C-alpha cells in the first residue's frame, strides 16, 4: 500500500456496447490490461512473485447488458495528461468500448468500487404498456415496501426491494429509467425490478423481451 | 451478430461475436475472393492455434482476398441455431458461410471430422462435393491430417498438402481470373490441380481388390499429376509471418504471443508423424526471431511469449535467444515459455531464465518406460539422462513433474510396461536424495499414458493397432507397477485412440462411417465429455465398414496405402520400410 501513495490514480469512464457486451468481467480486465500495455501507459504493477497491473473495476456489468458509463481505475507510476491517456488508450480498444471521461483522483482514498452506491438503468420492454406503465410506477413509488421472492443460496426468500429504488422515470410507453442501489452494501438487480413490473401488468412474462442498459454508475467522471 | 436472445442463452456468447484486436476489416464487395477459414473446434481452441494466425494474416495481406473466420459452435449453440434456423456465420462480417467463395478447413486432428460435416451442414451447404453446385462455396482443407485426406475425399473439392505460405497464392491468382471469366467449378479445379500441393479427389479413381485393399489409384483427368507433391517453405527467415496477431477478447487456451523457432525435427522418433511430415528441419535466425517477438508483443499486449517448435533443445542458439528476450522483456513483465523444452543437464541455465516469472510444472516425455522400448521407437534418451534432467529440475525448485508415455507400441512386452512404474519411482527417489532443505514439500509426479496410434508417413504406418481390450489391460499393468503415493496415474481413453487410428489410416470408404457417426449425433469427438464409443461402433456397423480392417490390421509392405500418392519430400516408402525393418531386426 505504501508504494501506491507515490503513484498517480486515474478514474476512467467508458462504454461497453455492441459485441463487447458479451465479454465477461475477467475478460474485460485482461482486455484493458493488454490495451494499456499496447498503449505504453506507465502502469504500476503490484509487488510480489506474480506482478499484475494495478487496475480495478467498479461494479461488474451483467453479461449482455450495455453500459454507457462504466468505470475503472488505474495507477500510473508518473503523471500523464488526461487527454493523452484518452488518445493513447482509445486507439487500443475494440469497437464498442469508448472512453467517455478521465479524471485524476488522489492516490490514496477509497476505490471507485467502494464508493459506488447507485446506478441508473434504462429498462425497455418489447410490449407497450400504454398508460398502465405510468400507473404501475407511481404505485411502486408510493408504496412503503415491495416484497419480491428472491432465489438465494438457501432457496427462496422474500425481500423488500423498496429501499433499493431511488427513482423511476417513465420515458416512453414501454421504456423507463431507474436509479437503483448498486454496490457491495446494497444492490438491486434491474431484472428483479423489471420482472416485478411485468408481474403487475397484464402482459405475459414469456411474451415480453426486456432490454437492459446501464446508463451510469453514480461516480461522475467529467465528460470529455 | 446473432440476436441477443440467442447469444444470451449460449454458455459463452463471447465465442460468437468476433471484434477482436487486430481483426481485419475489409469491404467484402470490394474483393475478388472471400475465404472463410473454418476451424472445426471450439473458438478458444482454434484461436490458440498458431497456424490460424499465420494463414489469416497471409491470406489477408492480399488486397483481393478477404479471409474471415468461423469456428465449430459448441453443442448448446448448435441447438439454438438449429432451433431458430440460424446458419453458421463468419465472425468478421457475420456473413453466412454459403456466401463465400471458399470455405477452408484446417485438419489438425481426426476427431474433429464430424465437426467439419456439422459445420458444412449448419451453413446449409450439402456435405458431399458431388451434391454441391456452382452456387456453393468451394470446400478445401489443409493441415497435418491432409497427409491422408482420403477419409474426407468425398466431402472436399480440394486439399492443399503442405505449407500454405509457400504456394497458396497460386490458388488465389487462378481463382480471381476464373471468377472474372465466370468459369465453372470443375474448370477451376482442373486449373489448380497442376499446382504443387493441390489434390483434387474427384480427379482420381480408386479400385479395390477382393480382400479390401487398394488395387489401383490413378488420375482420371489429364492435368492431374500421378503424385501430389507436398510443398514446404524453403527459407524460414523469409517466410511470411504475422506482425499483428489476433488478440481474442475472451480467455482462450493459450493467450500469448508465439514465435516459431524452427519447423521440422531432426530426431526421427518412429511413432512421430510430425517428425516426418514437417521435414526438412528449417530454422529461423536469432535476428528474425527477436524482431518478430518485438513486433508481436508490441501489437498484442501479451505478457507471455512462447517459443514454438517440435523440440526446442535442438535450436542451436537457444541460449542466445532466451538471453536476448529476457534482457529486453523481463522488465516489462513478459515471461518466456518453452513448451517443448526437454530438460537435461545442459540447459538448467535456460530453464531458470524461462521460468523466472512463473513457475509451473515440468514435462518429460520419455515415451517408453524401458530402454528397449525407447530404442524401438528411436527416442534417443537414456535412463541416466532422464534422471539427471529430473535432478536438475528438482534442484531448480520444481517439485511437480509430468511424465508422458505411450502404451501399445510395436513389440511391447509386460516388462516394458512395468518399466514405466519403475522409472517414475526412480524419479521420486531422486527427489528424496536431495538435501532436506531443498525439499519444500512432497514431490508430485503425474504419469500419463496415451494409446499409440500408428500414423501415415511413419515407419509404423503398417502396424496393426492394439485393440481396446489390450490397451486397457496394458493400462492396468502400468497402474499396478506404480506403488508410490507421490505418483498419480492418468491414461487416455482407448476407444478414442482406436477410432482415431481407423480414421487416420482410412481410405475413401471410411467417409461413410464419418457421415454415419455425424448423423448419429457425434460432435467434438476429441472432447471426452462428448465422445461416444457406442455411436462410432454403430457407425462402423451400420455403414458396413470393418473397424478391424482399418485399425487393427497389419498391412504388408507391398500393399498400396491410401496416402501413397502423396510425395512427402524426402520421406519415401523405401526409407520408411528400412526404418521399420530396423525395428524387426531388434526383436
Ligand atoms: S517426438 Fe519430438 S523429438 Fe521425436 S521426432 Fe517427434 S518432434 Fe522430434
Report the nearest atom of ligand 1 relative to the CA of B342.
Answer: 3
The upper half-sphere exposure of residue B367, i.e. CA atoms within 13 Å in the direction of its Cβ, equals 20
- Residue of the CA atom closest to atom 3 of ligand 1: B267
Q: Cα–Cα distance between B60 and B298 in angstroms, integer? A: 20
Q: B311 CB under 6 A from ligand 1?
A: yes
Q: A60 to each of A21, A75, A184, B145, how far by Cα in Å?
A: 11, 19, 11, 43
Scanning the structure block, which residue is given the C-alpha cell 475465404?
A: B35
The kind and range of the H/E element at A122 are strand A118-125
Using DSSP's 3-state secondary structure scheme, residue B128 falls into coil
CB burial string B382-414: b at 16+ within 10 A, e below: ebebbebbbbbbbebebbebbbebbbbbbebee
Burial environment of residue A3 by CB neighbours within 10 A (0 to 12, 13 to 18, 19 or more): middle
- Chain A: residue whose CA lies nearest to B248: A31
Which positions 454-513 of B are in contact with A (Cβ < 8 Å)? Answer: none
Using DSSP's 3-state secondary structure scheme, residue A80 falls into coil
Compute how many other C-beta atoms are within 10 angstroms of the C-beta atom of residue A49. 7
Mind spelling out the 3-state secondary structure of B159-195? EECECHHHHCHHHHHHHHHHHHCCCCHHHHHHHHCCC
Say what angle helices B113-122 and B75-83 make with each other, to 10 degrees: 30
Q: Cα–Cα distance between B514 and B532 in angstroms, integer? A: 13
C-alpha B304 chain-centroid distance: 22
Single out the residue of B83, B74, B13 nearest to residue B40, CA to CA: B74
Ligand 1 center to B486 CA (angstroms): 28
Residue to substitute from A16, A18, A21, A22, interface B, most B β-carbons within 10 A: A22
- Give the pLDDT score at B389: 87
- Chain A: residue whose CA lies nearest to B6: A64
Confidence of residue A106 (pLDDT cuts 50, 70, 90): very high
Residue B219 main-chain phi, psi, to 5 deg: -65, 145
pLDDT digits (tens, 9 = 90+) for B131-166: 999 999 999 999 999 999 999 999 999 999 999 998
Q: Cα–Cα distance between B316 and B378 in angstroms, integer? A: 21
pLDDT digits (tens, 9 = 90+) for A82-103: 999 999 999 999 999 999 999 9
- In the structure grid, which three cell numbers stand for residue B517, read together? 457417426
The segments of chain B whose pLDDT lies below 50 read 356-358
B17 to chain A, any CB pair closer than 8 A? The answer is: yes
Provide the whole-model pTM.
0.94
Tell me the shortest Cα–Cα distance from A10 to chain B, in angstroms: 20
Q: How far apart are the two ends of chain B, measured CA to CA in Å? A: 61
pLDDT digits (tens, 9 = 90+) for A25-81: 999 999 999 999 999 999 999 988 788 999 999 889 999 999 999 999 999 999 999
Confidence of residue A200 (pLDDT cuts 50, 70, 90): confident
- Residue of the CA atom closest to atom 7 of ligand 1: B310
User: Which residues of chain B does A95 touch, with a Cβ-Cβ cutoff of 8 Å?
Assistant: 19
Cβ-defined contact of B301 to A209 (cutoff 8 Å): no
- Give the pLDDT score at B357: 40
pLDDT digits (tens, 9 = 90+) for B7-40: 999 999 999 999 999 999 999 999 999 999 999 9
Using DSSP's 3-state secondary structure scheme, residue B489 falls into strand
Q: B265 CB under 6 A from ligand 1?
A: yes
Report the nearest atom of ligand 1 relative to the CA of B268.
Answer: 5
B1 to chain A, any CB pair closer than 8 A? The answer is: yes
Q: B259 CB under 6 A from ligand 1?
A: no
Q: A51 to each of A119, B70, B247, B583, how far by Cα in Å?
A: 32, 35, 21, 51
Say what angle helices B286-300 and B318-329 make with each other, to 10 degrees: 30
Residue to substitute from A19, A28, A54, interface B, most B β-carbons within 10 A: A19
Single out the residue of B314, B281, B271 nearest to residue B465, CA to CA: B271
Nearest beta carbon to residue B4 from set A31, A34, A64: A64
pLDDT digits (tens, 9 = 90+) for A131-170: 788 899 999 999 999 999 888 778 888 999 999 999 999 9
Q: Cα–Cα distance between A6 and B30 in angstroms, integer? A: 53
Q: Is B94 left (phi over 0), alpha (psi -120 to 50) or beta?
A: left
Q: Specify which residues B487 forms β-bridges with.
A: B445
Cβ-defined contact of B13 to A30 (cutoff 8 Å): no
Residue A68: partners with Cβ closer than 8 Å, 6 or more residues away:
A15, A17, A100, A213, A214, A215, A216
Which positions 193-212 of A are in contact with B (Cβ < 8 Å)? Answer: 209, 211
Single out the residue of B260, B254, B264, B257 nearest to residue B240, CA to CA: B260
Do residues B53 and B242 make contact, with C-beta atoms less than 8 angstroms apart?
A: yes
Long-range contacts of range A135-144, CB-CB < 8 Å, 24 or more positions apart? A136/A197, A136/A200, A136/A201, A137/A168, A137/A170, A137/A176, A137/A197, A139/A200, A140/A165, A140/A168, A140/A196, A140/A197, A140/A200, A141/A165, A141/A168
Could you give the maximum distance between any two Cα atoms of chain A, in Å? 61
Amino acid at each position: 500500500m505504501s508504494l501506491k501513495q507515490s503513484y498517480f490514480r486515474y478514474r476512467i469512464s467508458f462504454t461497453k456496447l455492441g459485441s463487447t457486451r458479451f465479454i465477461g468481467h475477467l475478460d474485460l480486465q485482461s482486455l484493458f490490461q493488454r490495451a494499456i500495455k499496447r498503449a505504453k501507459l506507465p502502469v504500476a504493477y503490484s509487488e510480489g512473485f506474480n506482478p499484475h497491473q494495478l487496475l480495478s473495476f467498479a461494479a461488474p456489468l451483467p453479461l449482455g447488458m450495455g453500459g454507457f458509463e462504466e468505470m475503472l481505475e488505474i495507477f500510473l507510476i508518473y503523471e500523464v495528461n488526461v487527454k493523452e491517456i484518452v488518445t493513447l488508450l482509445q486507439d487500443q480498444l475494440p469497437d464498442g468500448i469508448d472512453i467517455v471521461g478521465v479524471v485524476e483522483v488522489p492516490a490514496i482514498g477509497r476505490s471507485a468500487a467502494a464508493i459506488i452506491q447507485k446506478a441508473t438503468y434504462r429498462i425497455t420492454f418489447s410490449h407497450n404498456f400504454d398508460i398502465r406503465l405510468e400507473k404501475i410506477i407511481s404505485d411502486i413509488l408510493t408504496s412503503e415496501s415491495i416484497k419480491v421472492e428472491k432465489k438465494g443460496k438457501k432457496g427462496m426468500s422474500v425481500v423488500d426491494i423498496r429501499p433499493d429504488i431511488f427513482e423511476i422515470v417513465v420515458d416512453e410507453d414501454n421504456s423507463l429509467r431507474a436509479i437503483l442501489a448498486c454496490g457491495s452494501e446494497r444492490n438491486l438487480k434491474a431484472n428483479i425490478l423489471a420482472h416485478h413490473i411485468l408481474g403487475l401488468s397484464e402482459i405475459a412474462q414469456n411474451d415480453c423481451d426486456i432490454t437492459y442498459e446501464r446508463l451510469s454508475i453514480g461516480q461522475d467522471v467529467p465528460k470529455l | 451478430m446473432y440476436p441477443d436472445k440467442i447469444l444470451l442463452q449460449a454458455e459463452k456468447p463471447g465465442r460468437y461475436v468476433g471484434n477482436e484486436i487486430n481483426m481485419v476489416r475489409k469491404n467484402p464487395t470490394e474483393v475478388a475472393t472471400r475465404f472463410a477459414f473454418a476451424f472445426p473446434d471450439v473458438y478458444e481452441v482454434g484461436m490458440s492455434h498458431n497456424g490460424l494466425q499465420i494463414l489469416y494474416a497471409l491470406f489477408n495481406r492480399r488486397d483481393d482476398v478477404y479471409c474471415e473466420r468461423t469456428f465449430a459452435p459448441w453443442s448448446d449453440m448448435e441447438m439454438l441455431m438449429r432451433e431458430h434456423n440460424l446458419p453458421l456465420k463468419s465472425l468478421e462480417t457475420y456473413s453466412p458461410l454459403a456466401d463465400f467463395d471458399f470455405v477452408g478447413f484446417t485438419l489438425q486432428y481426426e476427431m474433429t471430422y464430424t465437426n467439419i460435416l456439422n459445420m458444412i451442414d449448419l451453413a446449409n451447404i450439402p456435405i458431399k462435393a458431388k451434391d454441391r453446385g456452382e452456387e456453393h462455396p468451394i470446400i478445401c482443407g489443409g493441415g497435418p491430417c491432409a497427409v491422408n485426406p482420403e477419409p474426407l475425399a468425398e466431402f472436399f473439392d480440394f486439399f492443399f498438402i503442405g505449407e500454405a505460405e509457400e504456394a497458396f497464392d497460386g490458388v488465389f491468382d487462378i481463382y480471381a481470373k476464373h471468377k472474372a471469366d465466370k468459369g465453372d467449378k470443375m474448370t477451376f479445379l482442373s486449373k489448380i490441380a497442376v499446382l504443387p500441393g493441390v489434390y483434387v479427389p474427384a480427379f482420381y479413381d480408386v479400385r479395390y481388390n477382393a480382400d479390401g485393399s487398394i488395387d489401383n489409384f490413378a488420375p482420371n483427368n489429364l492435368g492431374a499429376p500421378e503424385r501430389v507433391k507436398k510443398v514446404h517453405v524453403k527459407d524460414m527467415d523469409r517466410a511470411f509471418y504475422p506482425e499483428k496477431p489476433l488478440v481474442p477478447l475472451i480467455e482462450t487456451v493459450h493467450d500469448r504471443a508465439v514465435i516459431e523457432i524452427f519447423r521440422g525435427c531432426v530426431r526421427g522418433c518412429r511413432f512421430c508423424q510430425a517428425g516426418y511430415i514437417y521435414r526438412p528441419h528449417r530454422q529461423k535466425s536469432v535476428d528474425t526471431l527477436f524482431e518478430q517477438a518485438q513486433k508481436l508483443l508490441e501489437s498484442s499486449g501479451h505478457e507471455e511469449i512462447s517459443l514454438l517448435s517440435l523440440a526446442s533443445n535442438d535450436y542451436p542458439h537457444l541460449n542466445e535467444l532466451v538471453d536476448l528476450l529476457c534482457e529486453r522483456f523481463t522488465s516489462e513483465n513478459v515471461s518466456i515459455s518453452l513448451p517443448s523444452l526437454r530438460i537435461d543437464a545442459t540447459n538448467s541455465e535456460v530453464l531458470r531464465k524461462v521460468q523466472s516469472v512463473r513457475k509451473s510444472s515440468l514435462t518429460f516425455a520419455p515415451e517408453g518406460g524401458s530402454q528397449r522400448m525407447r530404442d524401438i521407437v528411436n527416442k534417443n534418451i537414456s535412463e541416466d539422462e532422464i534422471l539427471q534432467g529430473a535432478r536438475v529440475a528438482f534442484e531448480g525448485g520444481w517439485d511437480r513433474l509430468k511424465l508422458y508415455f505411450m502404451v501399445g507400441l510395436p513389440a511391447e512386452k509386460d516388462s516394458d510396461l512395468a518399466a514405466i512404474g519403475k522409472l517414475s519411482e526412480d524419479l521420486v527417489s531422486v527427489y528424496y536424495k536431495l538435501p532436506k532443505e531443498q525439499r519444500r514439500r512432497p514431490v508430485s509426479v503425474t504419469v500419463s499414458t496415451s494409446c499409440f496410434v500408428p500414423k501415415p508417413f511413419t515407419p509404423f504406418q503398417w502396424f496393426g493397432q492394439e485393440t481396446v481390450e489390450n490397451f486397457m489391460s496394458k493400462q492396468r499393468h502400468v497402474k499396478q507397477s506404480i506403488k508410490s503415493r507421490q505418483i498419480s496415474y492418468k491414461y487416455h481413453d482407448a476407444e478414442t485412440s482406436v477410432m482415431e487410428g481407423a480414421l487416420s489410416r482410412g481410405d475413401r470408404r471410411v467417409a461413410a462411417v464419418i457421415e454415419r457417426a455425424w448423423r448419429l449425433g457425434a460432435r467434438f469427438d476429441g472432447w471426452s465429455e462428448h465422445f461416444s464409443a457406442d455411436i462410432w461402433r454403430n457407425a462402423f456397423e451400420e455403414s458396413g465398414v470393418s473397424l478391424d480392417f482399418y485399425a487393427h490390421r497389419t498391412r504388408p509392405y507391398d500393399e498400396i496405402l491410401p496416402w501413397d500418392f502423396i510425395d512427402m519430400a524426402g520421406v519415401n516408402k523405401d526409407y520408411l520400410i528400412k526404418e521399420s525393418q530396423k525395428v524387426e531386426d531388434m526383436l
